[in-house]
Amino acid sequence: MEKIVIIPTFNEKENIESILHAIFNLNDDFHILVIDDGSPDGTAQIVKDLQSKFPGKLFIEERVGKLGLGTAYIHGFKWAIEKDYQFIFEMDADFSHNPNDLGRLYDACKKGGADVAIGSRYTNGGGVVNWPKNRIALSKGASLYTRMITWMPVKDPTAGFICYKKVVLETINLDEIQFVGYAFQIEMKFAAWKLAFKIKEVPIIFQDRTFGISKMNKGIVKEGILGVLKLRWHSLFTNYRKRVKNSETSDTSDKNMKQNEFLID
Ligand SMILES: Nc1nc2c(ncn2[C@@H]2O[C@H](COP(=O)(O)OP(=O)(O)OP(=O)(O)O)[C@@H](O)[C@H]2O)c(=O)[nH]1
Ligand SMILES: [Mg+2]
């Protein structure tokens, strides 16, 4: 099992079929796991109807209600680790992330030496298309604020288009991850960085969604603002490393442990 793209969905009936086709049409052997939170618009049924067309490649996990993006990904990460996928991707359903960029994220991890490859809007060559000015300002402000508080050297800390090597998700104590919105994206990168994994930013052009409605809200922004402060504070006491290590991860973990002893333990 090599590559799996996790797509969390809530009311994405206008996008889901086309995004699945776009990824499978790459002919690059990506598998896909959709995590649907009981979308009232029937997103899950669309996925289930397509499963027979893509046997062994398209999976769905259904949860009972809207439990948040962060917990959806944690659920997906655990599922993917269990199935032994080596490269685990995060991607939105709404075409903000271009499926053609999946290969570049994969290459950054597979050949470029990264443990985490981030599809980055704010690194050289990256950008945002047709987002309103206030949304860009919010996103850039969040990046700057995060860097100032955490000192994490990532230009796009709220990015949600990512490739993780399996070892990263196995090493992070996923049960310690607390946040659900933008703060979740920041927290995952922060944990990987604290554990001394190599993070690489790959420039991408991010497009605003054309179909469906945004699930962004004030609560998510608030979680982000307070979350970053909490993250910094808790990082003085939290150990993101899984307490029980398996033999496959222990080499890297021990190496990282030495580099980071003073920071996290
Ligand atoms: N399973 C699950 N998926 C969610 C939840 N909230 C959002 N999503 C999905 O997560 C992805 C990102 O959500 P978006 O609403 O696009 O959030 P955004 O990108 O910040 O905002 P816009 O692009 O402006 O819409 C989409 O695929 C959503 O369907 C949730 O609570 N549960
Ligand atoms: Mg979106």
From 23, 29, 75, 28, select the one nearest 50 (Cα to Cα).
Answer: 23
Contact 94, 70 (CB under 8 A): no
The greatest distance separating any two alpha carbons of the chain, rounded to the nearest whole angstrom, comes to: 51
**Which of 33, 69, 75, 161 to probe ligand 1 with, by most ligand atoms within 8 A of CB?**
69
Q: Which residue has the tokens 């680790």?
A: 81
pLDDT at 255: 42
* pLDDT on residue 33: 98
- pLDDT score of 215: 76
> Hey, whose CA ends up nearest to atom 25 of ligand 1?
214
Cα–Cα distance measured from residue 180 to residue 185, given in angstroms and rounded to the nearest whole number: 8
Q: Which residues line ligand 1 (CB under 6 A)?
A: 8-10, 12, 35-37, 66-69, 72, 92-94, 96, 209, 214-216
Low-confidence stretches of the chain (pLDDT < 70) are 243-265
Phi, psi dihedral angles at 62 (to 5 degrees): -110, 130
> Are the beta carbons of 35 and 7 closer than 8 angstroms?
yes
> Which residue reads 């776009």 in tokens?
22
User: How far is the centre of ligand 2, averaged over its atoms, from the C-alpha of 169 (Å)?
Assistant: 23
Mean pLDDT, all residues of the chain: 90
Q: For residues 216 and 213, what is the distance between their CA atoms, to the nearest angstrom?
A: 9
Q: Find the ligand nearest to 90 CA.
A: 1
What is the pLDDT at residue 14?
97
- What kind and span of H or E run contains 262? helix 247-264
**CA nearest ligand 1 atom 12, residue:** 92
By the 8 A CB rule, do 157 and 142 touch? yes
**Token duo for residue 116:** 């985490």
For residue 165, how many C-alpha atoms fall within 13 Å in the half-sphere facing its CB? 21
Q: Could you report the per-residue pLDDT of 153-171, keeping only the tens digit for each?
A: 999 999 999 999 999 999 9
Say if CB 78 and CB 174 are below 8 A apart: yes
Residue 166 gets the label, from left (phi > 0), alpha (psi -120 to 50) or beta, of alpha
Residue having the nearest C-alpha atom to atom 11 of ligand 1: 92
Atom of ligand 1 nearest to the CA of 66: 31
Instruction: State in Å: Cα 1 to ligand 2 middle.
Output: 28
Residue 41 token pair: 């618009």
